[in-house]
Structure 1
Amino acid sequence: MGLSHLMVHRRAGRAHQGLLRAGALTLPVAIGRAGIWPDKREGDGRSPAGTWRIERLLYRPDRATRPRTRLPCFPLHPQDGWCDAPGHRLYNRPVRLPFPASHEKMWREDALYDFVLVLDHNSRPAMQGRGSAVFIHLARPGFAATEGCVALRRADMLRLLARLQPGARITLQPG
């Protein structure tokens, strides 16, 4: 049976670490350095509280084969970026590099974006300064804090991808 809803809450005493519950799975995750809060602002280090639809998976084809998943799935390219410049008309949208405004590079040297689940946080419409590039991606060693994303171990990501249903949602609980 596929998973349609994920829940994340902060671990007691650990501002930037949490637990993700999905059916029978309970997985450790990293969250934003400032925890989970409802009033997300660009650059505040908070993971945005609320329920977000998981739209699609992006992956690095040079580092991994297309993972088993029922989600829409697309390979990343070295020219892929994501606009994080408040005030730009493409704020919180994928862009092609080179790009003149502030942006994230999706083709990273580290492994964090080898698998990226794109969430619909602040996307319809994108409100300037309310947070951009909030993803579910791979965790740094030791579950170091993210800038506002949710991050999993590679093996846990692959387990989750194989079980997620199209249209699945994730709820980030404040506290």
Structure 2
Amino acid sequence: MKSRWTDGIAKPKVLKSLFDQGVSFHKAALKCLPFNGMPADLLVEPGVVNLAFAIECYLKGFSFHENDEPAIGHELDSLYFALSDALRGKILKCYLTVPFLNSTELDKCVKAMATAFVDWRYVFEKKELSVSFGEMFDFARALHETAVAEGIFATSGFLEDLKRPQERVLEKSGHRLR
């Protein structure tokens, strides 16, 4: 039997590791890409890669939570559709509550961003490449909030500002809508 990286590690520690890593990459993406008018450095490629990897970590955390087995691969759609219908339903419910939602078709969005982690690391090899930052942010946020709501992961509330209307976020940061 092939050894897994999770062998001998308690389930709560594995889950914490996966979700902590997801949060770290999620925070990095928020610093690279503009979201709801919040200032960013506009580092597109690193931002997309960080966000895709955050999503991957969250999905692998959910998979481990459900199956006690580490999920393999980087394709976000495969990781997402391997989750139970019940869990995907909870994620969708959370996703549909995101303010300023970019799309209501989550399955379609996940398929569109499926290979973002690999594609955007090797963007120089592509003739054309596109991804919706908004849809990726919405999905990452829904995954994070679902994990917190389900008690799978406790967080410091770093997404708190994104729960408020856009105007409050901008006012808090000193910016104004014109």
| TM-score band w.r.t. shorter chain | under 0.3
TM-score, length of structure 1 as denominator length: 0.26
TM-score, length of structure 2 as denominator length: 0.26
Larger helix share, 1 or 2? 2
Larger strand share, 1 or 2? 1
